[in-house]
Amino acid sequence: MFHLIRGVNRSLLIAWLAACGVWLAQPALAEKLPASVAQHPTEHEDIVALNARLSLHEVLQQVVAIHPQQALLAAHQQMVNARKIMAKSWLPLAPSVGFSHQNDAWQSDRDEREWQAQMQIPIWLPGQREARSQVASLADNSLSQDQASLQQLAADLLRNAVWEIAMRRNELRLAESRRETLRSIAEDVQKRFRAGEVARLEVMQTSQETLQAERLWITAQAELMHAQFRYQQLTGLNEMPARLEESLSSREGYTESPFWLAAQAKVKLAEGQRDLTMIEQRQNPTLTVNTRTMQGGFDSKFNSSMGLYVNIPLQSEVQRAPLIANAEQNIGDARMQLETLRRQLENSLHEAEHNLHVSRQELAVIEQQQAIASENFALARKAYRLGELDLNQLLRLQLLAFEAERSLSSQQLQVQWNIAKYNQAVGVLP
């Protein structure tokens, strides 16, 4: 006996004994667990169900409606409304009124009395009203572009969310298929073991492979649940469209992208505000109309009069310099953001074009690989049942067939996802 043990490879013996322990422990462990847990330890119902009547565009509107940026756009809308009110106002600033009274009761006490009332009316600077109207129009256009930009941002988030779910569901389907295939192989090996055609070591090996496939299935299911939870947080829905595929847009550039148009609108708005600042760098002139009623110390009769007063503020560099500098800085910031965005959009478009082209080429190759691997495994399965192929070769070919199937289905989804990414890069909504 010891002589035989010394002749056996020690590593192989240790592996065989460990496998036997796992195999012998499996029935006992299964008996201690409920049937549903033993067979499906992480089984649960999907959070996100497929709805054939739901479209991506409908879900997109829901994403936009609950997006946190809506609060910021609402504040911008109030600012636009305020600019429109300023542009349509009859006066550049609110008028003011004043009242005064003066007497000599505590001084000479000659019954001298004076009452005065006045209204101060601001006067438009040359070109000020037209400049304010232009800024209001530019601000309104910028807000519209920001709203379209939010839709494009929501489209990017939605596309990534739904295609991630599609990828995770595909991984789960493949993991389940591999698990069932390995269970079938394990049953074949068990039958041959009972018939005395194979050693117990092969039974242990298939058991280990089946457990590994079970673990991968559990992991795939968990990843799918994470992806579905993120989708639910993004959309607030428990359903998603059954159809995710998009038609490839005919656009070839990013110049119609809402991101680009919004950045350009911000530059134009900053320039319009600079032009308005050049006009409003000094204060508005004012026209004061007043009335005065007096009762003299030597004349008890009332004496009333009316007067006009014009105030023309002088231009001062102390007031002008910081206003112009701030306006120019806003233009510089807007132009910098535009240039930064231009580079980002060019990179995104280049990557989208390149990835789509490459993924289509890879798909053609993977289709051929999958066909060969699937046929090889089918032949190997028959050969093993006839005793013409050993278990290691069968498992190796099964793994190759599984990887080929996973590559094919994943690549098919990736091509569709790359089409969505290209549409996103050129500014097309789903």
Q: What is the CATH number of the domain that holds 48?
A: 1.20.1600.10
Q: Map residue 114 onto helix, strand or coil.
A: strand
Q: Are the beta carbons of 411 and 363 closer than 8 angstroms?
A: yes
Residues 76 and 9 in one domain: no
Q: Identify whether residues 174 and 272 lie together within a single domain.
A: yes
Residues 14 and 143 in one domain: no
> Is residue 286 within 8 Å of 120, Cβ to Cβ?
yes
pLDDT at 341 over 90: yes
Helix (H, G, I), strand (E, B) or coil at 122: strand
Is the confidence at residue 407, as pLDDT, over 90?
no
Percentage of the chain modeled with pLDDT above 70 = 88
Same domain, 4 and 83: no
Q: Is 47 strand, coil or helix?
A: coil
Bridge partners (DSSP) of residue 113 are 103, 295
Are both 186 and 90 inside the same structural domain? Answer: yes
State the pLDDT confidence band at 58, using cuts at 50, 70 and 90: very high
Q: Over 80: is that where the pLDDT of 98 sits?
A: yes
How far is it, in rounded angstroms, from Cα 353 to Cα 360? 11
Q: Measuring CA to CA, which residue among 147, 177, 5 is closest to residue 80?
A: 147
Judge whether 28 lies within some domain. Answer: yes
Q: Which residues, in sequence order, are CB contacts of 281 under 8 Å at separation 6+?
A: 315, 319, 320, 323, 324
Write the DSSP assignment of 175-209 as a string of letters: HHHHHHHHHHHHHHHHHHHHTTSS-HHHHHHHHHH
Domain count, the chain: 2
330 has pLDDT over 80: yes
pTM: 0.78
Residue 213 sits in the same domain as residue 86: yes
CB of 288 within 8 A of CB of 311?
A: yes
Task: Answer for the pair 150, 65: CB distance below 8 angstroms, yes or no.
Answer: no
What pLDDT is attached to residue 54?
94
Mean pLDDT of the chain: 84
Query: Is 386 within a domain?
Result: yes
Task: Give the model's pLDDT for residue 203.
Answer: 82
User: What was the pLDDT predicted at 381?
Assistant: 78
pLDDT tens-digit series, residues 7-31? 434 433 333 433 444 333 343 333 3
For position 229, what pLDDT does the model report? 94
Examine the domain organization and report whether 350 and 255 are in the same domain: yes
Q: In what order do the strands lie in the sheet with 113-122?
A: 96-103, 113-122, 286-295, 302-311
Q: Residue 220 falls within a domain, yes or no?
A: yes
CA distances from 277 to 177, 274, 331, 405 (A): 69, 5, 12, 65
Task: Verify that 13 and 131 share a domain, yes or no.
Answer: no
2 and 96 housed in the same domain:
no
Tell me if 258 is assigned to some domain: yes
pLDDT at 26: 41
Q: State residue 367's pLDDT score.
A: 87
- Check whether residue 28 and residue 119 sit in a common domain: no
Domain shared by 365 and 222, yes or no: yes
Q: Note whether 178 and 299 are same-domain residues.
A: yes
Give residue-wise pLDDT tens across range 267-316: 999 999 999 999 998 888 999 999 988 877 566 677 788 889 888 888 77
Residue 430 belongs to a domain = no
Lowest mean pLDDT among 51-55, 121-125, 289-293, 421-425: 289-293
Residue, of 375 and 354, whose pLDDT is higher: 354
Give the angle subtended at the CA of 255 by the CAs of 249 and 258, to the nearest 5°.
Answer: 85
393: containing domain:
40-425
Task: Please state, in angstroms and rounded to a whole number, the distance separating the CA atoms of residues 149 and 144.
Answer: 9
